[in-house]
Amino acid sequence: MYDQTCVFCREIIKNDNAAYVYKDNDVIAFMDNAPIEKGHVLVIPREHFVNVFDIDKEIYTKTQLMVKKIAMAVKLALETDGINIGQNNGRAANQVVMHYHVHIIPRYYRRNINWEREIADMESLKTTADKIIKELMDVKT
């Protein structure tokens, strides 16, 4: 299913407009263009599902397994001290894009936890994505 009103369906899946970390027939991972920290990755199913209550069980499982693998690659590529993995369901839970997605956010001891967002340029997103991709090829799950 595709939803023309969904920014992920339209811009990421249809228009191929992102710094990608991973793509297959079911799951896509890309750099968040308004990251909380450098290396903030979003993992989404290709098929449009609104949230955890809506997503198909098989696609959910494939998405979560890829979240684990990408989180490991982010940790290695960016030498993080920790990782936040988050998934919001509904506007009251701060879900902004109504397409199921999981946030992978690198964290560091030397910095205060930040939740503010800033728009990143595509070149720096692609540079970070390339670092993650290199590590992803060696991650075993």
Which CATH number characterizes residue 29's domain? 3.30.428.10
CB atoms within 10 A of CB 93: 10
Give me the chain's average pLDDT, please.
Answer: 94
Indicate whether 111 belongs to any domain. Answer: yes
* Residues contacting residue 119 through CB under 8 Å, at least 6 positions apart: 33, 34
Say whether 99 is catalytic.
no
Q: pLDDT tens track of the chain, all 141 residues?
A: 788 899 999 999 999 999 999 999 999 999 999 999 999 999 999 999 999 999 999 999 999 999 999 999 999 999 999 999 999 999 999 999 999 999 999 999 876 777 778 888 899 999 999 999 999 988 876
Query: How many separate domains does the chain show?
Result: 1
Q: What is the 3-state secondary structure (H, E, C) of 49-116?
A: CCCCCCCCHHHHHHHHHHHHHHHHHHHHHHCCCEEEEECCCCHHHCCCCCCCCEEEEEECCCCCCCCC
Angle between helices 122-136 and 57-78 in degrees, nearest 10: 100
* CA–CA gap between residue 54 and residue 132 (Å, rounded): 29
Domain for residue 23, yes or no? yes
Rounded to two decimals, the pTM is: 0.93
Would 30 be classed as within a structural domain? yes
Given 40, 99, 101, 103, the catalytic residue? 101
Residue 35 in 3-state DSSP? coil
Range of the domain at 114: 7-136
